[in-house]
Amino acid sequence: MIYTEICKLLNIKYPIFQGGMAQISDAKLAAAVSEAGGLGVIASGNSPPALVKSEIHKIRELTDKPFGVNVMLLSPHVEEVSQLFVEEKVPVIITGAGNPGKYMRIWKEAGIKVVPVVPSVAFAKHFEKLGADAIICEGTEAGGHVGEITTMCITPQVVDAVKIPVVAAGGIGDGRGIAAAFCLGAKGVQVGTRFILAKECRVHQNYKDKVIKANDTATVVTGRKTGHPVRVLKNRLANQFRELEKNNASVEEMEELGRGKLYQAAVLGDVVYGSVMSGQIAGLLSKEQSCKEIIVEMFEEAEKIMKNLAGGNNE
Amino acid sequence: MILEKVKEILVEELDVEEESITLDSKIKEDLGADSLDLFELISRIEDELDVNIDEDDYGKLITVGNLVDYLTEKNK
């Protein structure tokens, strides 16, 4: 049984966070992950506070286990949503796509556990100083908004830089990834893309099918010029971004191209002209399973690997 | 001297020539820093000058001059 500081900190059975994915991880998916013993995370994305509030109420009807809410710091509603978390007394806040520094004080004062996603060591140290309870270091293998450094490289460096527990994210899709993350010094993992294929995930079937069909070279990062690049599965939209980048388009033009495109893919099922955010590990994934099956399978495999490593078993 | 230290850090962190740095140089637009660079810069300045730069003040630090004035104030 893999039980770490992360399990103790958040009162969860397995040290696994389900990655907050806008338009994809709602109360239903998060509740299923939490019920299965991980930390389910509701993604607030660009949603207005009323919608986030209703998801928080929904998850509380579905589970009494701990859950997290992800705040996407580029959202136009970030101020109100950050305040909402305090009012709703959510147990855990995961932050992404930016610097949550100015909100940490009110969250910590409200007794909420705060776990920022960081793209670099400097951010990790900074948030530890501000009182973060743990850090998620996310490698560029991840889907959605990504940094430049790989999980393999950023994890041990962040582990060395901070004393709080580190959760590795990006490129983890099975027990081997979990074992690797632990070898790098992490005390937990965050998994996104694999949970897209969870039965409890409401994303459009076309989106799931595209993830299943993906191979190792199927993703590309677009929008680097905007300062907030995203990793997506290659399609016509990704090509359009590439054209804009080739022709030195402005940041505004690129942002305009991306507007509403995640909804178009995730909800409407347009995986040709919509934005199909996904991690590089999509190439490994082919099964639709329940959250419970995913988590149990991943950790059983990880335990077996880690036992074999310890025993020096070379079979 | 605060300006000298800031210039030294800017040269190393942003790979720019010292001659290109003036008090009016905009850290992002003229010296080419992106938001990750800016953050690394601020962290390094905090460590080396033993100062704490408030999150809320990041937006005020547009030019090198803004930064030097801010640090001078903090030093008093």
- A14: Cβ contacts below 8 Å, ≥ 6 apart: A2, A7, A36, A37, A38, A295, A299
Q: What angle do CA A154, A127, B60 make, to 5 degrees?
A: 110
pLDDT at residue B76 greater than cutoff 90:
no
Contacts of B60 in chain A (CB under 8 A): none
pLDDT at residue A141 greater than cutoff 70:
yes
Judge whether A13 and A44 are in contact, CB under 8 Å.
Answer: no
pLDDT of A234: 97
| A162-201 residue pLDDT tens | 999 999 999 999 999 999 999 999 999 999 999 999 999 9
Q: What average pLDDT does this structure show over A106-130?
A: 93
Q: What average pLDDT does this structure show over A49-55?
A: 96
Residue of A nearest to B57 (CA): A102
What is the distance in angstroms between the Cα of A297 and the nearest Cα belonging to chain B? 37
Q: What residues of chain B, 33 to 72, have a C-beta less than 8 Å from chain A?
A: 34-36, 39-40, 43-44, 55-56
Share of chain A above pLDDT 90, in %: 85
For chain B, how long is the longest CA-to-CA vector? Answer: 30
Give dist(CA A198, CA A161) in Å, integer. 34
pLDDT at residue B47 greater than cutoff 90:
no
Interface test with A, best of B36, B38, B52 (most A CBs within 10 A): B36
| A54-105 residue pLDDT tens | 999 999 999 999 999 999 888 899 999 999 999 999 999 999 877 888 899 8
- A103: Cβ contacts below 8 Å, ≥ 6 apart: A71, A78, A82, A95
pLDDT at residue B39 greater than cutoff 90:
no
**Tokens linked to A134:** 């743990």
Give dist(CA A42, CA A31) in Å, integer. 9
pLDDT at residue A314 greater than cutoff 80:
no
Q: Is this complex's ipTM strictly greater than 0.90? A: no
pLDDT at residue A315 greater than cutoff 80:
no
pLDDT of A281: 98
Task: Characterize the bridge pairing of strands A144-145 and A135-138.
Answer: unpaired
pLDDT of A244: 93
pLDDT of A312: 61
- A176: Cβ contacts below 8 Å, ≥ 6 apart: A301, A302, A305
Q: How high does pLDDT run on average in chain A? A: 94
| A26-43 residue pLDDT tens | 999 999 999 999 999 999
- Facing residue for B55 by CB, picked from A101, A122, A148: A101
What is residue A289's DSSP assignment?
B
Q: Compute CA A101 distance to the chain's CA centroid, rounded to the nearest angstrom.
A: 19
pLDDT at residue B28 greater than cutoff 80:
yes
- Facing residue for B39 by CB, picked from A102, A123, A227: A123
Q: What average pLDDT does this structure show over B55-63?
A: 87
Q: What average pLDDT does this structure show over A114-120?
A: 93
pLDDT of A197: 98
The domains of chain A, with CATH numbers, are 5-202+286-311 (3.20.20.70), 219-277 (no CATH)
- A129: Cβ contacts below 8 Å, ≥ 6 apart: none
| A3-31 residue pLDDT tens | 999 999 999 999 999 999 999 999 999 99
Share of chain A above pLDDT 70, in %: 99
Q: What average pLDDT does this structure show over A203-214?
A: 98
pLDDT of A74: 84
DSSP code string of A221-266:
EE-GGGT--EEEE-SHHHHHHHHHHHTT--HHHHHHHHTTHHHHHH
| A251-263 residue pLDDT tens | 889 989 999 999 9
Question: What is the rounded (10 degree) CA torsion for A231, A15, A97, B12?
Answer: -90
SS3 category, A5: helix
What is the distance in angstroms between the Cα of A258 and the nearest Cα belonging to chain B? 20
pLDDT of A313: 55
Question: What is the rounded (10 degree) CA torsion for A236, A242, A244, A245?
Answer: 160
Judge whether A311 and A186 are in contact, CB under 8 Å.
Answer: no
| A260-311 residue pLDDT tens | 999 999 999 999 999 999 999 999 999 999 999 999 999 999 999 999 987 7
Structure-model confidence comparison of residues A168 and A2, the more confident one = A168
For chain A, first and last CA: distance in Å?
22
